[in-house]
Amino acid sequence: MEPKRIREGYLVKRGSVFNTWKPMWVVLLEDGIEFYKKKSDNSPKGMIPLKGSTLTSPCQDFGKRMFVFKITTTKQQDHFFQAAFLEERDAWVRDTKKAIKCIEGGQKFVRKSTRRSIRLPETIDLSALYLSMKDAEKGVKELKLEKDKKIFNHCFTGTCVIDWLVSNQSVRNRQEGLMIASSLLNEGYLQPAGDLSKTAVDGTSENPFLDNPDAFYYFPDSGFFCEENSSDDDVILKEEFRGIIIKQGCLLKQGHRRKNWKVRKFVLREDPAYLHYYDPAGGEEPLGAIHLRGCVVTSVESNSDGKKSDEENLFEIITADEVHYFLEAATSKERIEWIKAIQLASRTGK
């Protein structure tokens, strides 16, 4: 019997020879990880055995590269993968760790329904806690705060985070909340905004998180931006980047000139409604932007050159300026999710 496929999708992988980062189609099996140059390839470019391997996440070996995890084999070979966003990385890490554990115990990989963690520090699920904190109604409220002639948008104070943890009964007291908040910060679920919180992160104190009304933080996917006299790394964003991120991930995009297909990381924002696309292997600046206000998006059976079929999950965006974009999702379900999200943003965004 062939090994069971547990998870598959696009990840960016660091090459073992030239150390370049390239998007790959990655398949997690019960006994290993296969990676392909293209999703349509029949043979993998390589295979990583999971037996005896260890996984490190987050992996902070590459500075500005976020959402990286590392797999080290029994031969001490390191393999680095980068996800498009935090929740995607956590899903890959969770399933890969479970696969390794199943191999060690001689068990089959079986998914179980998730249950809320016991309210004890050693058993708190940071990923689940992060999602609860981001809940629009019951989570930590994002505010517009002002300090030192700067305006911080979509952020909150350290005191607000600890207050929420205590009132939500996620922790038993503020000291325990400080420890959990520091873990969220170290794992990348929270980011520092402003000099005070950044200085604490860069320092050597036991708790890099500050229970302080003057220490500002934000969620990495919140649409945070800083205005006015910014003298640090906070960037004054263009209007099109100020919308809240509602969906992101990797898709295949057809080029307008050569009609070739390349993997791109897409970030969908609403109000204003824009779909930005990036080189998934690196680069903070987008390669392009699609203004979605008044656009039409539909699934298609084939594109203009007729080389793609409906089985490959194509969809098309036609902007108000009548520019056509052909995109391909990894699965039929993913295509439907993208179409619905883009349609919603196009109706509600500027």
**Strands 5-14 and 78-82, sheet pairing:** antiparallel
Cβ atoms of 267 and 279 closer than 8 Å? no
pLDDT tens digit sequence for 268-313: 988 889 999 999 987 778 899 999 999 999 998 764 554 545 457 8
pTM: 0.61
Side chain identity at 217, as an amino acid letter?
Answer: Y
Side chain identity at 274, as an amino acid letter?
Answer: Y
Cβ atoms of 190 and 200 closer than 8 Å? no
- State which CATH number among 3.50.50.60, 2.30.29.30, 3.30.70.1880, 2.40.110.10 fits the domain covering 236-348: 2.30.29.30
SS3 content of the chain, % helix, strand, coil (to 5): 25, 30, 45
Strand partners, 314: 328
CATH of domain 5-105: 2.30.29.30
pLDDT tens digit sequence for 136-147: 899 999 998 888
> What per-residue confidence (pLDDT) applies to 228?
53
Mean pLDDT of the chain: 84
Q: What's the token pair of residue 328?
A: 């391909």
What interhelical angle do 126-133 and 86-105 show, nearest 10? 160
5-105 and 236-348: identical CATH topology: yes
Given this structure, which CATH class describes domain 126-226?
mainly alpha
Domain ranges for the chain: 5-105, 126-226, 236-348
Question: For the chain, what percent of residues have pLDDT higher than 70?
Answer: 85
Q: How far is CA 295 from CA 74, 226, 313, in A?
A: 51, 30, 19
Contacts of 199 by beta carbon, 8 Å cutoff, 6+ apart: none
Cβ atoms of 140 and 156 closer than 8 Å? yes
